[in-house]
């Protein structure tokens, strides 16, 4: 069994790589839900959708979110009627949000709805939200506290981030299947995917019991750096790090995860960082452009975890 902690586009890419080299029943993807929000009366879970669309082959690989087989009549009509169109919702994507919203309103948990949608999309690995409770990432900027999608999409990550908060995390319960898997003696590794540590991984770690369970975990915890040569592969990671007074480097991310990490995979370009990292470092090509890149990085991560297991 392998657990992958994922959020955003980078996380989904490695989750896909893992799903192509592991039997489906051996992969559990635990997804950040801090990006979730209510919009146009719909309950939207972007990171869950990015993982499910990616694992089902439906994802739009160019932009990294939504579906590739989309039409935009809903958005065009919203525009003509003066509705909000800053958050782009394709016609087929809207159907998923409507189905999920109705089922959540009927009292189903996010994980139950996600499990059923994954089955309908033919996805083998387990995809579970980090918690079924409400957690919302908010960011303190020059415009005051912003909701995540307002910052990320509406304002295109332009505001200067001074502080982050994960509203609801302190009273949230980690998903029981996630906690059970961490304690399962058959667990072989926990992979922290190359997602933005602040907005995609730390909301998961902020839920009571998660950090302690990871530290106590018998299986090695291994992260892949989301920074290559001081730049984020995608999104605001490096910008955020600079604004938070941190050096935007692979080493800084390792220090953020600190006591959790047994292993850390960085790009060849960041070889000089090796000396500043406590965990056992593996150098690899961490830029994933092709499907083969995703699979190769997944294999490198699992091989590194196997070496760490023998050491433990």
Q: Which of 66, 174, 220, 251 binds ligand FO1 (CB under 6 A)?
A: 66
150 contacts ligand FO1 (rule: CB under 6 A): no
Break the chain down into helix, strand, coil percent, rounded to 5: 45, 20, 35
Among 8, 17, 129, 263, binds ligand FO1 (CB under 6 A): 8
Q: Compose the 224-263 pattern: x for residues touching ligand FO1 by CB under 6 A, - for all others.
A: ----------------------------------------
Q: Which residue has the tokens 């990320």?
A: 152
Report how far apart, in Å, the C-alpha atoms of 151 and of each of 16, 139, 160, 229, 255 are. Answer: 27, 8, 10, 25, 26
Q: Is-contact 28 181, C-beta < 8 A?
A: yes
Binding flag, residue 153, ligand FO1 (CB under 6 A): yes
Helix (H, G, I), strand (E, B) or coil at 59: strand
Contacts of residue 188, Cβ cutoff 8 Å, sequence gap at least 6:
1, 2, 219, 302, 305, 306, 309
Interaction between residue 68 and ligand FO1 (CB under 6 A): no
| Stretch of 83-91, 114-122, 131-139, 211-219 contacting ligand FO1, by CB under 6 A | 83-91
Nearer to ligand FO1, 74 or 305 (CB): 74
d(CA 127, CA 215): 22
Of positions 47, 150, 267, 273, contacts ligand FO1 by CB under 6 A: 47
Span near ligand FO1 by CB under 6 A; candidates 22-30, 146-154, 168-176, 262-270? 146-154
Give the number of other CB atoms < 10 A from CB of residue 89: 21
Residues that bind ligand FO1 (CB under 6 A): 7-8, 35, 46-47, 49-50, 65-66, 87-89, 93, 149, 152-153
């Amino acid at each position: 069994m392998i657990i992958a902690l994922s959020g955003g586009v980078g996380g989904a890419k490695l989750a896909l790589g893992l799903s192509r080299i592991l039997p489906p029943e051996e992969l559990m993807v635990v997804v950040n839900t801090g990006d979730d929000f209510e919009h146009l009366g719909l309950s939207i879970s972007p990171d869950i959708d990015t993982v499910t669309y990616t694992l089902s082959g439906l994802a739009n690989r160019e932009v990294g979110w939504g579906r590739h087989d989309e039409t935009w009549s809903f958005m065009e009509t919203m525009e003509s009627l003066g509705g909000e169109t800053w958050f782009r919702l394709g016609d087929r994507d809207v159907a998923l949000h409507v189905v999920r919203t109705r089922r959540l309103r009927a009292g189903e948990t996010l994980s139950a709805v996600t499990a059923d949608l994954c089955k309908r999309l033919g996805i083998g690995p387990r995809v579970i939200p980090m918690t079924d409770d409400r957690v919302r990432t908010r960011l303190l900027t020059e415009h005051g506290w912003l909701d995540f999608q307002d910052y990320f999409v509406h304002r295109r990550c332009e505001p200067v981030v001074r502080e982050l908060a994960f509203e609801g995390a302190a009273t949230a319960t980690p998903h029981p299947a996630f906690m059970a898997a961490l304690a399962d003696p058959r667990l072989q590794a926990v992979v922290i995917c190359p997602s933005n540590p602040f907005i995609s991984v730390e909301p998961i770690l902020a839920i009571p019991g998660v950090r302690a369970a990871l530290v106590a975990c018998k299986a090695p915890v291994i992260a892949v750096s989301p920074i290559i040569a001081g730049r984020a592969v995608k999104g605001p990671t490096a910008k955020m790090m600079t604004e938070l007074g941190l050096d935007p480097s692979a080493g800084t991310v390792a220090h953020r995860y600190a006591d959790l990490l047994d292993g850390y995979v960085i790009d060849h370009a960041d070889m000089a960082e090796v000396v500043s990292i406590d965990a056992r470092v593996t150098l690899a090509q961490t830029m994933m452009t092709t499907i083969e890149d995703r699979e190769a990085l997944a294999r490198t991560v699992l091989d590194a975890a196997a070496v760490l297991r023998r050491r433990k």
